[in-house]
Structure 1
Amino acid sequence: MVLTEDGVRLWATRLGAGDPVVFCHGGPGSWDTLEDAAELLGDQTAVYRWDQRGCGRSERHGPYSVARSMADLDAVRRHFGLSRTALLGHSWGAQLALLYTLNHPECVSRLVYVSGTGIDHGATWRKAYQHNLRAALGARVKRWGMLKDRERTETEDREFCVLQWSADFAERERALKHAERMATPWLGLNFDCNAAINAENSRTEGTPALRAACEAMDVPVLIVDGAEDIRPRRAVDSLEKALPRASRAVLSGAGHMPWVEDPDGFATAVAGFLHR
């Protein structure tokens, strides 16, 4: 367990040995589901995974904010004695890893930005995302909508999340199976954490200050996209253009979790970048 400076216990683990990379899972409010991605990086990498504050196996204790999330990530880095490390962030975790790098560039050797949504305001892509989400759900959209708009039991929370997560996979025939695996074991979403951090993000995304900070960032970045992600990949274009040391890998036939649907392509791109 990692103990933060305000006394909150965070679950964390290490897999493998070699050059360090700290993973940041998506959400906000979810837990680490990146074990398969960690196993793909082979025996040259020590992967550090953790559950963010209030999520999964970590203590359910606020406050929930972007600044607090960055401080907790720094606590994980210091707990494992990593003076400098690579970061890999997925979805919301990609944004967290980017913001941490902007604020602590001396601590980050490389950044892998997986399935993020860039630095423009969400209004530029969210309408298309909602359309794509409903289209991907197909016949399941009615049940998803019923669960979305009412107070749910814990069992219904899981069902709702499995349905929503199923839309994140390009291979429709196996989408529910993949989503069920993500939800097993079910560690419960922290909706308060999700609401607080998303509200904060909506006030800061798309600002000139964020773009300027990215333009000045002198850290190598690999952007990894699943070509079939229902979040429009054009959302990431402005980030790619802003970063002076960015490269990009687009994995065909993969959705929001590209390591699941193109494990070989993901491993080749990420391991090649980390060990370059």
Structure 2
Amino acid sequence: PLRATSTTRPTRSGYGVPVEAGRSAVHDLELVELGTVEAGDHQLTIRAHRGADPASPVMIVLPAMGVPARYYQPFLRSLAARGRTVVSFDLRGQGEALPRARRGIRFGYQDLIDDTGAVVDLVARNFPQAPRFLLGHSLGGQVALLYSASHPDRVSGVTLLGSGSVWFRSFQGSRAWKNLAGTQVVAALSAVLGCWPGERLGFGGRQPAGVMRDWARQGRSGRYRLGGSDTDYEAALAASDVPLLTVTMDGDELAPESSVDHLAGKAARSARTRRHYSCEIAGAAKLGHYAWVHNSDELARWIGEWAVAAAVEPAAESG
């Protein structure tokens, strides 16, 4: 079973990276080690920046596949600059989370969902007055939505950031068939090799075969049937009414609007707010699936305002 342990150890600039002299307090973001989640040789480190108001919403950020938590530092700073409490951790097997994916290491989506539950519990103990919001990027958004559907009383809302369904029919034109072929080839190679060596093949980072099998199954079927899990996630999603904010990004070919709509549409009872983050709004030359992190000030404002409203009363459908 997962075990969460609280600590209060600060790190420089959150991840041991020295901050530049002369930068403001908002840029010198201090992430304190909030605790660890452990089970056998599995260990996650959870870090947080505490906002001034103990009752202000807590933003728990779930990374994308193959993306370390430290990549989101600019986004965390944008959230923290608006007085939010932010929580950061690596998905199992990514960044500093142990163990690394290799042959014989077996975990899948359900384990990522269980990890999220342990993080939420740790946050609840440390910030008992604060409503909790999950902010998931790409794969992190899928995990966040699945967790919220199966534990609707544990979170006050979910934000999907460039996070959509992998189902091939949720993409347009030739991209649909490329996605179908790609997801199935990745899963097959992962099964043969014992893991997916994405750090060498240019996609997704190093991942266990179980994660890629769950990912590919949803890619071909459009449904979440997770290995090692008895939960009917499709039914749980259909019954969920957890408030939902979905954000699409300019130039994001991995999570276009059609893909995001398919994922969010599974939670049809949830009050959904839709937003599109354009280069013009962000003041950026490009955004895409990843670069939005570096131009996220306005996005942080959207999320913060939505969370405050959702914590009081579920948001109404908006464009």
Give yes or no for TM over 0.5: yes
How many angstroms apart in 2 are the aligned matches of 1:20 and 1:113?
Answer: 16
Change over 3 Å in CA distance of 1:65–1:265 after alignment to 2: same
How many angstroms apart in 2 are the aligned matches of 1:228 and 1:15?
Answer: 31
**Alignment partner, residue 206 of structure 1:** 222
> Contact between 1:88 and 1:113, CA under 8 Å: does it hold in 2?
yes
1:222 Cα shift?
0.2
What is the 5 A alignment of 1:226-245?
226-231=249-254, 232-242=256-266, 243-244=268-269, 245=271
The answer to whether the aligner puts 1:67 opposite 2:93 as a matched pair is no
**Alignment partner, residue 46 of structure 2:** 12
> Contact between 1:30 and 1:190, CA under 8 Å: does it hold in 2?
no
How many angstroms apart in 2 are the aligned matches of 1:238 and 1:190?
Answer: 27
**Alignment partner, residue 188 of structure 2:** none
> Contact between 1:52 and 1:58, CA under 8 Å: does it hold in 2?
yes
How many angstroms apart in 1 are the aligned matches of 2:239 and 2:263?
Answer: 12
> Contact between 2:113 and 2:147, CA under 8 Å: does it hold in 1?
yes
1:110 Cα shift?
1.0
After superposing the two structures, state which structure 1 stretch, 103-112 or 13-22, moved more.
Answer: 13-22
The answer to whether the aligner puts 1:31 opposite 2:75 as a matched pair is no
Could you tell me which runs of 5 or more consecutive residues in structure 2 were left unpaired when the two chains were aligned: 1-34, 180-192, 225-231, 280-286, 310-319
Q: What does the per-residue CA deviation read over 1:115-138, in whole Å, with 9 as the maximum and x for residues that have no partner?
A: 1123x7235428517979xxxxxx
Change over 3 Å in CA distance of 1:67–1:43 after alignment to 2: same
Q: What does the per-residue CA deviation read over 1:57-80, in whole Å, with 9 as the maximum and x for residues that have no partner?
A: 111164321111111111122233
**Alignment partner, residue 223 of structure 1:** 246
Q: What does the per-residue CA deviation read over 1:90-134, in whole Å, with 9 as the maximum and x for residues that have no partner?
A: 00000000000011111011111111123x7235428517979xx
1:198 Cα shift?
2.4
How many angstroms apart in 1 are the aligned matches of 2:199 and 2:258?
Answer: 31
Which of residues 59, 74, 79 in structure 1 aligns to 2:122?
79
Which of residues 275, 299, 306 in structure 2 aligns to 1:249?
275
> In the alignment, residue 262 of structure 2 is paired with which amino acid?
S
Change over 3 Å in CA distance of 1:53–1:211 after alignment to 2: closer
How many angstroms apart in 2 are the aligned matches of 1:241 and 1:268?
Answer: 25
What percent identity do the matched residue pairs reach? 23
How many angstroms apart in 2 are the aligned matches of 1:37 and 1:130?
Answer: 33
Change over 3 Å in CA distance of 1:226–1:64 after alignment to 2: same
1:4 Cα shift?
2.6
* SS in structure 2 at match of 1:255: coil
Higher RCO, Cα 8 Å, sep 6+? 1
Corresponding residue pairs, total: 224
**Alignment partner, residue 146 of structure 1:** none
Change over 3 Å in CA distance of 1:54–1:239 after alignment to 2: closer
After superposing the two structures, state which structure 1 stretch, 211-220 or 200-209, moved more.
Answer: 200-209
1:237 Cα shift?
1.9
Name the structure with the higher helix share.
1
Which of residues 43, 59, 65 in structure 2 aligns to 1:21?
59
After superposing the two structures, state which structure 1 stretch, 251-260 or 89-98, moved more.
Answer: 251-260
> Contact between 1:4 and 1:75, CA under 8 Å: does it hold in 2?
no
> In the alignment, residue 251 of structure 2 is paired with which amino acid?
E
RMSD: 3.0
How many angstroms apart in 2 are the aligned matches of 1:258 and 1:222?
Answer: 20
**Alignment partner, residue 115 of structure 1:** 162
> In the alignment, residue 40 of structure 1 is paired with which amino acid?
S
What is the 5 A alignment of 1:13-162?
13-17=47-51, 18-27=56-65, 29-32=66-69, 33-41=71-79, 42-60=81-99, 62-80=105-123, 81=125, 85-118=132-165, 121-125=167-171, 127-128=174-175, 157=199, 161=202
> Contact between 1:115 and 1:225, CA under 8 Å: does it hold in 2?
yes
How many angstroms apart in 2 are the aligned matches of 1:221 and 1:190?
Answer: 30
Could you tell me which runs of 5 or more consecutive residues in structure 1 were left unpaired when the two chains were aligned: 133-150, 166-188
> Contact between 1:251 and 1:258, CA under 8 Å: does it hold in 2?
no
